[in-house]
Chains A and B, each alone.
Chain A
């Protein structure tokens, strides 16, 4: 079945540094990937939609200069949290769409980011 690999699964970084999270579709080509943020005991908030070869579309209220998304190939999307601060600490999850019409999605295992 469709598998999405997300790396790293957890990361601790110092305030002011940048962190890159990778999301790879292992056995299929994902033309669209999504990035979500999840606060403790809360739902998943869609941050942005990433399409291969084009700029990401960010949801309202998400800082595009802080959360840089790159979808350079059909199997890889990256999220870079720039100049991280403690309030950026969260659980980040990527998802790949299996088609263009919303029939199916596969999720990565998530990345726990802690900024100290």
Chain B
């Protein structure tokens, strides 16, 4: 079975500050890891994903994440927060016999001016 834990249901940072959203996973098979962003009443937009290869993954809007197998983590970072980054962020995992995508509980990111 696979699962995802997102630490911190709410994160608030100042505009221009570093954004760090934490994600830890559990998987009995090599995981595929994803970060999605969701704006109110909308679907999900893929920020980035890790499948194989380079462990540091760069995504859209200046976000990046690093796959650390030893720590079973896939934290999302952005060097400088922008007001438009305010949204809900979901970490997800897939892999194994089925290709189901399992989500974490989400982190609501607020940006303070």
CB pair A43–B103 under 8 Å, yes or no, is yes
Nearest B residue to A98 via CB reads B99
Which chain B residues (71-97) contact chain A, with CB distance < 8 Å?
A: 90, 94-96
In the complex, chain B residues whose CB is within 8 Å of the CB of A102: 32, 94-96, 99-101
Residue A6 CB within 8 A of the other chain:
yes
| Most chain B CB inside 10 Å of its own CB: which residue of A36, A99, A105, A107 | A105
A100–B46 Cα distance when bound, in Å, is 18
Given contacts A43-B104, A44-B90, A104-B49, contact A110 B98 (CB under 8 A): no
- Complex interface: stretch among B14-22, B37-45, B62-70: B37-45
Interface residues in A, total, Cβ within 8 A: 28
B51 at the interface (CB under 8 A from A): yes
**Residue B102 at the chain A interface, CB threshold 8 Å:** yes
Contact B41 A108 (CB under 8 A): no
Provide the main secondary structure of the chain A interface: strand
Chain B residue contacts of A6, Cβ below 8 A:
43
| A42 sits at the interface (CB 8 A) | yes
**Residue from A36, A43, A107, A110 in contact with B106 in the complex, judged by beta carbons closer than 8 Å:** A43
Interface contacts beyond A43-B90, A49-B98, A100-B99: sample of 18 additional A-B pairs, CB < 8 Å, sorted by A: A32-B99, A42-B105, A43-B103, A43-B104, A46-B101, A49-B100, A97-B99, A101-B95, A102-B94, A102-B95, A102-B96, A102-B101, A103-B32, A105-B46, A105-B101, A109-B42, A109-B43, A110-B43
Q: 26 interchain pairs (CB within 8 A)?
A: A4-B43, A6-B43, A34-B100, A41-B108, A42-B106, A43-B90, A43-B104, A43-B105, A43-B106, A46-B103, A49-B98, A49-B100, A91-B41, A95-B44, A100-B99, A101-B95, A101-B99, A102-B95, A102-B96, A102-B99, A102-B101, A103-B32, A105-B94, A107-B45, A109-B42, A110-B41
Which residues of chain B have a CB within 8 Å of any CB of chain A? Answer: 32, 34, 36, 41-46, 49, 51, 90, 94-96, 98-106, 108
